[in-house]
Amino acid sequence: MKLHHLVVGDGPEPVVFLHGLFGQGKNFTRIASDLADVATSYLADLPNHGRSPWTVDYTLDSQADAVAAWLQGLPHSPVTLVGHSLGGKIAMRLALRHPALVSRLAVVDISPARGNATDEFEDLIGALKTLDLEHLESRSQADEALAPLIPSAQVRGFLLQNLRRRGGSWAWAANLDLLADNLHVIGGWPAIEATFEGPVLWIAGGRSTYVRDEHSAPMRALFPRTLQVTLKEASHWVHSDAPDAFTAVLRRLLTAEDDQP
């Protein structure tokens, strides 16, 4: 599978960014630009997102394996893998299943555990499916139609980045039906007998509930060299809420000696 991606920077460290559910690689453009002197960053659209291919079925491991196959075709290996939310789960599974491809790992506001955070996406996807794409005239019309169902302009804007013109009509860039049918998979964490021995930076948002105290033990069992950092003023969208602090901790990871997390 060839994933659509952008390349930002020409620094010595190869870094691959994996976004969250309904995101796109370009969401990390600012972070990658700020790291351009130390990193060559690949901002990938996950399978079933953005401009990347769709898949027929969905498991965390199949998605991780698809990303791993794409990584093997990059000019740099191994890479530092940075994953937010769903991208963080896929990054963790990839590091555990294909450790030779990953030198360092940054897991952003997600844990190796089952959570109920994806429950809210059931209502959001339901709202998106109410749009009559055949008769839709503009993105602003879509935003207006969704406002009663999704009051937050920020959330609507994030979701509507998945609305694209294809030919003369509108269509969803994300594989809406497959993702909707597999929210229980996206929110889960199947047992896995493996460990990743490389340095791991575990970044949490101080105003988020995605990373909790009870997640620490399973995280460290899978990733023994984990260093946890909490950015107190950030919500789940850590890289958007605290871009300067987020960039600073990533820079520290990328420039650390090999024996440091």
Positions marked catalytic: 85, 177, 236
Query: Do the strands 169-172 and 163-166 form a parallel or antiparallel pair, or are they unpaired?
Result: antiparallel
Q: Is residue 197 a contact partner of residue 205, using CB atoms and an 8 Å limit?
A: no
56, 111, 149, 150, 173 from 84: Cα distances, Å: 23, 10, 26, 23, 19
CA count, 13 A, side-chain hemisphere, 130? 15
Strand partners, 231: 205
CB neighbourhood size of 206 (10 A): 14
Q: Is residue 3 a contact partner of residue 14, using CB atoms and an 8 Å limit?
A: no
CA distance 137 to 172: 14
